[in-house]
Structures are given as C-alpha cells and as structure tokens.
Amino acid sequence: MDDLADAKAAYKSGEIQEEGMPVTIEQIKLKLKETTTRNRQPQNVQNMFSSLRMIERVVKKQLKEGQISESLAAKFHWQKL
C-alpha cells in the first residue's frame, strides 16, 4: 500500500510525467500481435526487412546530406513496406 501512495505522490509532484494517451487493451493486443508475427517470420524474411531498414537509413542520410535529390528519394515508399 505504501508503494501505491509513493507512486501517487511522485505523480502529483511531477516526477512522473503523464503520457499523452492512456494505454488501452486494444493497443496492447495489437503490439503483442505485431511482435509474435515478426518472430514467426522465416529468417530470410527477417533478413530482407533488416536489409530494407538499412537501405532506408542510407537513403534518408544521403538525402539529408544532399547526395541524392528529393525526387529520387520520393520514389521510395517506405510506409508501404
């Protein structure tokens, strides 16, 4: 019971920052589903996504440094992967 009182006091004092949105059971289920789905993928699929993430980082870095044009970078549709 003392731990709960300590946690409430810390929250009220501002030591613990309030998160933007409360975590719902649906969000937890979705995260669990995403995690187990990723783990069940064959190793070659995991490797492919790892390579794509590496390529994405390189393209974004090159764009930031001006090594490639915005029009070329726009041809990569990362959100669809």
pTM for this predicted structure: 0.44
The percent of residues above 90 in pLDDT, for the chain, comes to 0
User: Residue 9's pLDDT band (boundaries 50, 70, 90)?
Assistant: confident
Residue 19 pLDDT level (bands cut at 50, 70, 90): low
Residue 12 pLDDT > 80, yes or no?
no
Q: Which string of b and e fits 57-74 if b means at least 16 CB within 10 Å? A: eebeeebeeeeeeeeeee
Mean of per-residue pLDDT scores for the chain: 77
58 pLDDT above the threshold of 60: yes
